[in-house]
Structure 1
Amino acid sequence: MKRFLYIAIAAVLFTSCDQKPSLQKYFVENTENKDFIALDLTPKMLNIKEDKLTVSQKEALASFQKINILGFKVNDKNKAEFQTEKEKVTAILKDKKYQQLMKFGSGKGGAQISFVGEDEHIEEFVIFGNKEENGFAVVRVIGKDMNPTYIMEMMSVLQKADVNMEQLKPLQDLLK
Protein backbone atom coordinates (compact mmCIF):
# COMPACT_ATOMS: atom_id res chain seq x y z
CA MET A 1 0.00 0.00 0.00
CA LYS A 2 2.81 2.43 0.89
CA ARG A 3 4.52 1.66 -2.38
CA PHE A 4 1.34 2.49 -4.30
CA LEU A 5 1.03 5.76 -2.39
CA TYR A 6 4.64 6.75 -3.24
CA ILE A 7 4.08 5.90 -6.91
CA ALA A 8 0.86 7.93 -6.97
CA ILE A 9 2.54 10.95 -5.35
CA ALA A 10 5.48 10.73 -7.77
CA ALA A 11 3.11 10.50 -10.73
CA VAL A 12 1.20 13.59 -9.60
CA LEU A 13 4.42 15.53 -9.05
CA PHE A 14 5.91 14.62 -12.42
CA THR A 15 2.74 15.23 -14.40
CA SER A 16 2.04 18.54 -12.70
CA CYS A 17 5.49 19.94 -13.52
CA ASP A 18 5.12 22.32 -16.43
CA GLN A 19 7.54 21.33 -19.16
CA LYS A 20 6.77 24.32 -21.40
CA PRO A 21 9.51 26.92 -21.74
CA SER A 22 8.99 30.05 -19.68
CA LEU A 23 10.91 33.27 -19.21
CA GLN A 24 11.67 32.33 -15.64
CA LYS A 25 13.23 29.04 -16.75
CA TYR A 26 15.06 30.85 -19.56
CA PHE A 27 16.54 33.34 -17.09
CA VAL A 28 17.66 30.56 -14.73
CA GLU A 29 19.20 28.50 -17.54
CA ASN A 30 21.23 31.44 -18.89
CA THR A 31 22.29 33.35 -15.78
CA GLU A 32 25.69 31.65 -15.74
CA ASN A 33 26.22 31.68 -19.52
CA LYS A 34 29.22 33.87 -20.44
CA ASP A 35 27.33 35.48 -23.35
CA PHE A 36 24.59 36.73 -21.02
CA ILE A 37 24.46 39.48 -18.44
CA ALA A 38 21.96 39.04 -15.60
CA LEU A 39 20.88 41.70 -13.11
CA ASP A 40 18.19 41.87 -10.46
CA LEU A 41 16.90 45.15 -9.05
CA THR A 42 14.69 45.55 -6.01
CA PRO A 43 12.85 48.70 -4.90
CA LYS A 44 15.44 49.29 -2.16
CA MET A 45 18.26 49.33 -4.72
CA LEU A 46 16.56 52.21 -6.53
CA ASN A 47 17.03 54.56 -3.54
CA ILE A 48 13.89 56.52 -4.35
CA LYS A 49 12.77 59.35 -2.10
CA GLU A 50 9.07 58.59 -1.87
CA ASP A 51 8.20 62.04 -0.53
CA LYS A 52 9.05 63.44 -3.99
CA LEU A 53 6.67 61.10 -5.84
CA THR A 54 3.12 61.76 -7.01
CA VAL A 55 0.30 59.61 -5.69
CA SER A 56 0.17 57.56 -8.89
CA GLN A 57 3.95 57.07 -8.83
CA LYS A 58 3.71 55.83 -5.23
CA GLU A 59 0.98 53.38 -6.25
CA ALA A 60 3.11 52.09 -9.13
CA LEU A 61 6.14 51.73 -6.86
CA ALA A 62 4.07 49.93 -4.19
CA SER A 63 2.93 47.35 -6.75
CA PHE A 64 6.48 46.68 -7.92
CA GLN A 65 8.49 43.82 -6.35
CA LYS A 66 11.59 43.40 -8.53
CA ILE A 67 13.09 43.77 -11.96
CA ASN A 68 15.02 40.93 -13.62
CA ILE A 69 17.22 41.83 -16.57
CA LEU A 70 18.88 39.35 -18.89
CA GLY A 71 20.98 40.66 -21.74
CA PHE A 72 22.83 38.95 -24.57
CA LYS A 73 25.77 40.89 -26.00
CA VAL A 74 26.48 39.89 -29.59
CA ASN A 75 30.03 39.69 -30.97
CA ASP A 76 31.74 38.19 -34.02
CA LYS A 77 31.99 34.77 -32.38
CA ASN A 78 28.39 34.33 -31.20
CA LYS A 79 26.20 35.73 -34.00
CA ALA A 80 24.63 32.33 -34.70
CA GLU A 81 23.92 31.82 -31.01
CA PHE A 82 22.41 35.33 -30.88
CA GLN A 83 19.87 34.36 -33.56
CA THR A 84 19.08 31.08 -31.80
CA GLU A 85 18.61 32.74 -28.40
CA LYS A 86 16.54 35.58 -29.86
CA GLU A 87 14.26 33.00 -31.50
CA LYS A 88 13.88 31.16 -28.18
CA VAL A 89 12.73 34.34 -26.42
CA THR A 90 10.40 35.22 -29.30
CA ALA A 91 8.87 31.72 -29.12
CA ILE A 92 8.35 31.99 -25.36
CA LEU A 93 6.64 35.37 -25.77
CA LYS A 94 4.23 33.85 -28.33
CA ASP A 95 2.68 31.77 -25.52
CA LYS A 96 -0.89 32.95 -24.92
CA LYS A 97 -0.09 33.84 -21.29
CA TYR A 98 2.00 36.80 -22.59
CA GLN A 99 -0.41 39.44 -23.85
CA GLN A 100 1.22 41.97 -26.13
CA LEU A 101 0.70 45.66 -25.34
CA MET A 102 2.82 47.11 -28.12
CA LYS A 103 5.47 46.25 -30.65
CA PHE A 104 7.71 48.45 -32.75
CA GLY A 105 10.92 48.30 -34.73
CA SER A 106 12.52 47.53 -38.04
CA GLY A 107 14.18 44.54 -39.70
CA LYS A 108 17.44 44.91 -37.72
CA GLY A 109 15.93 45.57 -34.33
CA GLY A 110 12.82 46.23 -32.37
CA ALA A 111 11.03 45.95 -29.08
CA GLN A 112 7.82 44.68 -27.62
CA ILE A 113 6.05 45.09 -24.31
CA SER A 114 3.89 42.26 -23.04
CA PHE A 115 2.22 41.40 -19.76
CA VAL A 116 1.04 38.43 -17.74
CA GLY A 117 -2.21 38.66 -15.82
CA GLU A 118 -5.46 40.55 -16.25
CA ASP A 119 -5.84 44.20 -17.24
CA GLU A 120 -5.96 45.60 -13.71
CA HIS A 121 -4.16 42.75 -11.95
CA ILE A 122 -0.92 42.35 -13.87
CA GLU A 123 1.75 40.14 -12.31
CA GLU A 124 4.54 40.82 -14.78
CA PHE A 125 5.49 43.23 -17.55
CA VAL A 126 8.00 41.95 -20.09
CA ILE A 127 10.07 44.27 -22.24
CA PHE A 128 12.04 42.55 -25.01
CA GLY A 129 14.33 44.63 -27.17
CA ASN A 130 16.89 43.58 -29.73
CA LYS A 131 19.32 45.15 -32.15
CA GLU A 132 21.34 43.02 -34.57
CA GLU A 133 24.65 44.78 -33.84
CA ASN A 134 24.27 44.97 -30.04
CA GLY A 135 22.28 41.97 -28.87
CA PHE A 136 19.07 41.78 -26.91
CA ALA A 137 17.69 42.34 -23.45
CA VAL A 138 14.68 40.90 -21.69
CA VAL A 139 13.36 42.88 -18.73
CA ARG A 140 10.82 41.35 -16.36
CA VAL A 141 9.06 43.85 -14.11
CA ILE A 142 7.43 41.68 -11.47
CA GLY A 143 4.79 42.97 -9.13
CA LYS A 144 1.33 42.55 -7.73
CA ASP A 145 -1.87 44.10 -9.04
CA MET A 146 -0.07 46.35 -11.51
CA ASN A 147 -1.93 47.92 -14.42
CA PRO A 148 -0.77 49.20 -17.84
CA THR A 149 -0.40 52.79 -16.65
CA TYR A 150 2.07 51.63 -14.00
CA ILE A 151 4.71 50.81 -16.61
CA MET A 152 4.82 54.47 -17.67
CA GLU A 153 4.74 55.61 -14.05
CA MET A 154 7.61 53.25 -13.25
CA MET A 155 9.63 54.81 -16.08
CA SER A 156 9.19 58.25 -14.51
CA VAL A 157 9.98 56.82 -11.05
CA LEU A 158 13.18 55.24 -12.39
CA GLN A 159 14.29 58.68 -13.62
CA LYS A 160 14.16 59.83 -9.99
CA ALA A 161 16.09 56.81 -8.73
CA ASP A 162 19.50 57.20 -7.18
CA VAL A 163 20.89 53.85 -8.30
CA ASN A 164 24.48 52.91 -7.62
CA MET A 165 25.72 52.90 -11.23
CA GLU A 166 28.37 50.25 -10.43
CA GLN A 167 25.48 47.80 -10.03
CA LEU A 168 24.39 48.57 -13.59
CA LYS A 169 27.84 48.46 -15.20
CA PRO A 170 27.23 45.07 -16.91
CA LEU A 171 24.07 46.49 -18.50
CA GLN A 172 25.86 49.65 -19.62
CA ASP A 173 28.51 47.46 -21.27
CA LEU A 174 25.77 45.61 -23.15
CA LEU A 175 24.32 48.84 -24.50
CA LYS A 176 27.64 50.14 -25.83
Structure 2
Amino acid sequence: MKKLFVIVVSSILLWSCETKPTLQKYFVKNTESSNFVSVDLAPSIINTEKVTLTTAEKEALQSFEKMNILAFKTDSNDVANYDKEIKEVKSLLKDETYQQLMKVGSGNDGAAVYFVGEDEHIDEFVLLASKKENGFAVVRVLGNDMNPTHILNMLSLLKKSDMNLEQLKPLQELMKK
Protein backbone atom coordinates (compact mmCIF):
# COMPACT_ATOMS: atom_id res chain seq x y z
CA MET A 1 0.00 0.00 0.00
CA LYS A 2 2.86 2.34 0.88
CA LYS A 3 4.49 1.76 -2.52
CA LEU A 4 1.22 2.51 -4.29
CA PHE A 5 0.90 5.78 -2.36
CA VAL A 6 4.47 6.80 -3.28
CA ILE A 7 3.84 5.99 -6.95
CA VAL A 8 0.58 7.96 -7.03
CA VAL A 9 2.14 11.02 -5.32
CA SER A 10 5.20 10.86 -7.59
CA SER A 11 3.01 10.62 -10.68
CA ILE A 12 0.94 13.62 -9.61
CA LEU A 13 4.05 15.68 -8.92
CA LEU A 14 5.65 14.79 -12.24
CA TRP A 15 2.45 15.43 -14.16
CA SER A 16 1.90 18.80 -12.49
CA CYS A 17 5.37 20.06 -13.37
CA GLU A 18 5.03 22.48 -16.24
CA THR A 19 7.49 21.81 -19.01
CA LYS A 20 6.42 24.48 -21.48
CA PRO A 21 9.05 27.10 -22.34
CA THR A 22 8.87 30.40 -20.46
CA LEU A 23 10.71 33.69 -20.61
CA GLN A 24 12.28 32.96 -17.24
CA LYS A 25 13.61 29.61 -18.52
CA TYR A 26 14.94 31.42 -21.61
CA PHE A 27 16.85 33.83 -19.35
CA VAL A 28 18.29 30.99 -17.27
CA LYS A 29 19.27 28.98 -20.36
CA ASN A 30 21.10 31.91 -21.99
CA THR A 31 22.64 33.66 -18.99
CA GLU A 32 25.93 31.81 -19.38
CA SER A 33 25.96 31.82 -23.19
CA SER A 34 28.79 33.74 -24.87
CA ASN A 35 26.23 35.20 -27.32
CA PHE A 36 24.41 37.00 -24.52
CA VAL A 37 25.13 39.53 -21.81
CA SER A 38 23.06 39.15 -18.68
CA VAL A 39 22.68 41.76 -15.96
CA ASP A 40 20.56 41.61 -12.82
CA LEU A 41 19.85 44.95 -11.19
CA ALA A 42 18.72 45.42 -7.62
CA PRO A 43 16.83 48.46 -6.34
CA SER A 44 20.17 49.65 -4.92
CA ILE A 45 21.07 50.88 -8.42
CA ILE A 46 18.87 53.86 -7.60
CA ASN A 47 20.70 55.82 -4.93
CA THR A 48 18.08 58.03 -3.33
CA GLU A 49 20.09 59.25 -0.32
CA LYS A 50 20.55 62.75 -1.74
CA VAL A 51 17.13 62.98 -3.40
CA THR A 52 13.84 64.06 -1.90
CA LEU A 53 11.23 61.57 -3.07
CA THR A 54 7.61 62.36 -3.78
CA THR A 55 4.96 60.01 -2.44
CA ALA A 56 4.45 58.60 -5.94
CA GLU A 57 8.20 57.96 -6.33
CA LYS A 58 8.32 56.21 -2.94
CA GLU A 59 5.42 53.96 -3.96
CA ALA A 60 7.10 53.18 -7.27
CA LEU A 61 10.40 52.35 -5.56
CA GLN A 62 8.65 50.12 -3.01
CA SER A 63 6.89 48.18 -5.78
CA PHE A 64 10.19 47.47 -7.60
CA GLU A 65 12.00 44.23 -6.69
CA LYS A 66 14.60 43.71 -9.41
CA MET A 67 15.37 44.04 -13.07
CA ASN A 68 16.82 41.35 -15.33
CA ILE A 69 18.40 42.28 -18.64
CA LEU A 70 19.41 39.80 -21.32
CA ALA A 71 21.05 41.27 -24.42
CA PHE A 72 22.01 39.49 -27.63
CA LYS A 73 24.68 41.15 -29.76
CA THR A 74 24.29 40.49 -33.47
CA ASP A 75 27.31 39.07 -35.22
CA SER A 76 27.31 40.17 -38.87
CA ASN A 77 28.61 36.71 -39.79
CA ASP A 78 25.76 34.91 -38.03
CA VAL A 79 22.47 36.70 -38.75
CA ALA A 80 20.65 33.34 -38.73
CA ASN A 81 21.38 33.00 -35.00
CA TYR A 82 19.82 36.44 -34.37
CA ASP A 83 16.73 35.41 -36.36
CA LYS A 84 16.42 32.18 -34.38
CA GLU A 85 16.79 33.86 -30.98
CA ILE A 86 14.46 36.82 -31.64
CA LYS A 87 11.84 34.44 -33.04
CA GLU A 88 12.05 32.34 -29.86
CA VAL A 89 11.63 35.39 -27.59
CA LYS A 90 8.68 36.70 -29.61
CA SER A 91 6.99 33.31 -29.47
CA LEU A 92 7.41 33.24 -25.66
CA LEU A 93 5.81 36.67 -25.43
CA LYS A 94 2.78 35.45 -27.42
CA ASP A 95 1.82 33.32 -24.43
CA GLU A 96 -1.48 34.40 -22.86
CA THR A 97 0.42 35.30 -19.68
CA TYR A 98 1.82 38.40 -21.40
CA GLN A 99 -0.40 41.29 -22.39
CA GLN A 100 1.01 43.81 -24.83
CA LEU A 101 0.86 47.35 -23.52
CA MET A 102 2.43 49.14 -26.47
CA LYS A 103 4.54 48.62 -29.57
CA VAL A 104 6.70 51.00 -31.62
CA GLY A 105 8.55 50.42 -34.87
CA SER A 106 8.03 47.56 -37.25
CA GLY A 107 9.75 44.58 -38.78
CA ASN A 108 13.20 43.96 -37.36
CA ASP A 109 13.56 47.35 -35.64
CA GLY A 110 11.35 48.35 -32.78
CA ALA A 111 10.28 47.81 -29.23
CA ALA A 112 7.30 46.41 -27.38
CA VAL A 113 6.21 46.54 -23.76
CA TYR A 114 4.30 43.68 -22.16
CA PHE A 115 3.01 43.08 -18.67
CA VAL A 116 1.94 40.19 -16.46
CA GLY A 117 -0.92 40.70 -14.04
CA GLU A 118 -3.86 43.06 -13.91
CA ASP A 119 -3.86 46.75 -14.81
CA GLU A 120 -3.26 48.01 -11.26
CA HIS A 121 -1.57 44.90 -9.86
CA ILE A 122 1.26 44.15 -12.26
CA ASP A 123 3.94 41.66 -11.24
CA GLU A 124 6.20 42.01 -14.27
CA PHE A 125 6.89 44.42 -17.11
CA VAL A 126 8.82 43.13 -20.12
CA LEU A 127 10.50 45.36 -22.69
CA LEU A 128 11.75 43.80 -25.93
CA ALA A 129 13.86 46.12 -28.06
CA SER A 130 15.52 44.98 -31.27
CA LYS A 131 17.50 46.26 -34.20
CA LYS A 132 18.76 43.58 -36.57
CA GLU A 133 22.14 45.27 -37.10
CA ASN A 134 22.82 45.52 -33.34
CA GLY A 135 20.86 42.75 -31.66
CA PHE A 136 18.10 42.75 -29.11
CA ALA A 137 17.55 43.15 -25.40
CA VAL A 138 14.85 41.77 -23.15
CA VAL A 139 14.31 43.65 -19.90
CA ARG A 140 12.18 42.15 -17.15
CA VAL A 141 11.09 44.53 -14.38
CA LEU A 142 9.79 42.49 -11.48
CA GLY A 143 7.81 43.85 -8.58
CA ASN A 144 4.66 43.75 -6.54
CA ASP A 145 1.46 45.57 -7.40
CA MET A 146 3.15 47.79 -9.97
CA ASN A 147 1.17 49.86 -12.42
CA PRO A 148 2.12 51.84 -15.54
CA THR A 149 2.38 55.03 -13.47
CA HIS A 150 4.99 53.37 -11.26
CA ILE A 151 7.16 52.66 -14.30
CA LEU A 152 6.95 56.29 -15.41
CA ASN A 153 7.81 57.44 -11.89
CA MET A 154 10.75 55.01 -11.81
CA LEU A 155 12.08 56.48 -15.06
CA SER A 156 11.80 59.96 -13.57
CA LEU A 157 13.55 58.75 -10.44
CA LEU A 158 16.36 57.17 -12.48
CA LYS A 159 17.02 60.53 -14.13
CA LYS A 160 17.30 62.49 -10.90
CA SER A 161 18.97 59.88 -8.68
CA ASP A 162 22.65 59.16 -8.32
CA MET A 163 22.69 55.82 -10.15
CA ASN A 164 25.16 53.12 -9.20
CA LEU A 165 26.49 52.41 -12.70
CA GLU A 166 28.79 49.62 -11.49
CA GLN A 167 25.97 47.12 -12.00
CA LEU A 168 25.71 48.17 -15.67
CA LYS A 169 29.36 47.51 -16.60
CA PRO A 170 28.61 44.28 -18.54
CA LEU A 171 26.15 46.16 -20.76
CA GLN A 172 28.58 49.02 -21.26
CA GLU A 173 31.19 46.50 -22.43
CA LEU A 174 28.70 45.02 -24.90
CA MET A 175 28.01 48.45 -26.38
CA LYS A 176 31.73 49.06 -26.96
CA LYS A 177 32.10 45.93 -29.09
- Contact 2:41/2:167, CA 8 A, preserved across alignment: no
1:101-112 aligned at under 5 Å gives the runs 101-112=101-112
Identity %: 55
- State the TM-score, normalizing by the size of structure 2: 0.93
Question: C-alpha separation between the residues in 1 aligned to 2:137 and 2:161?
Answer: 21
For the residue of structure 2 that corresponds to 1:20, the secondary structure is: coil
Tell me the equivalent position of 2:43: 43
* Contact residue 50 and residue 58 of structure 1 kept, 8 A: no
Mapped to 1, the partners of 2:84 and 2:33 lie a distance apart of 14
CA RMSD after TM alignment: 1.5
Distance change (3 Å), C-alpha of 1:42 and 1:50: farther
- Determine the structure 2 residue equivalent to 1:13: 13
Structure 2, unmatched stretches of 5+, are none
Q: Deviations over 1:100-122 (max 9, x none)?
A: 10001133311000000011110
Q: 2:172 corresponds to which residue?
A: 172
- What TM-score do the two structures reach when normalised by structure 1? 0.93
Secondary structure at the counterpart of residue 100 of structure 1: strand
Asked whether 1:144 is paired with 2:147, we answer no
Residue of structure 2 in register with 1:158 after alignment: 158
Residue 51 of structure 1 and its aligned partner are, at CA, apart by 4.7
Give the letter for the 1:27 counterpart.
F
Give the total of aligned pairs. 176
Note the residue ranges of structure 1 that are not aligned, 5 or more in a row. Answer: none
Find the aligned partners of 2:14 and 2:70 in 1 and give their Cα distance.
Answer: 29
* C-alpha distance in 1 between matches for 2:144 and 2:93: 20
Write the distance in 1 (CA, Å) between the matches of 2:50 and 2:16: 42
Which amino acid in structure 2 is aligned with residue 102 of structure 1? Answer: M
Mapped to 2, the partners of 1:102 and 1:49 lie a distance apart of 33
CA distance, structure 1, for counterparts of residue 91 and residue 168 of structure 2: 28
Conservation of the 8 A alpha-carbon contact between 1:57 and 1:153: yes
For 1:101 and 1:55, the matched residues in 2 are separated by 25
Aligned to 1:115: 115
Measured after TM superposition, the shift of residue 68 of structure 1 is: 0.5
Offset of residue 18 of structure 1: 1.2
Whole-angstrom CA distance in 2 between matches of 1:11 and 1:158: 48
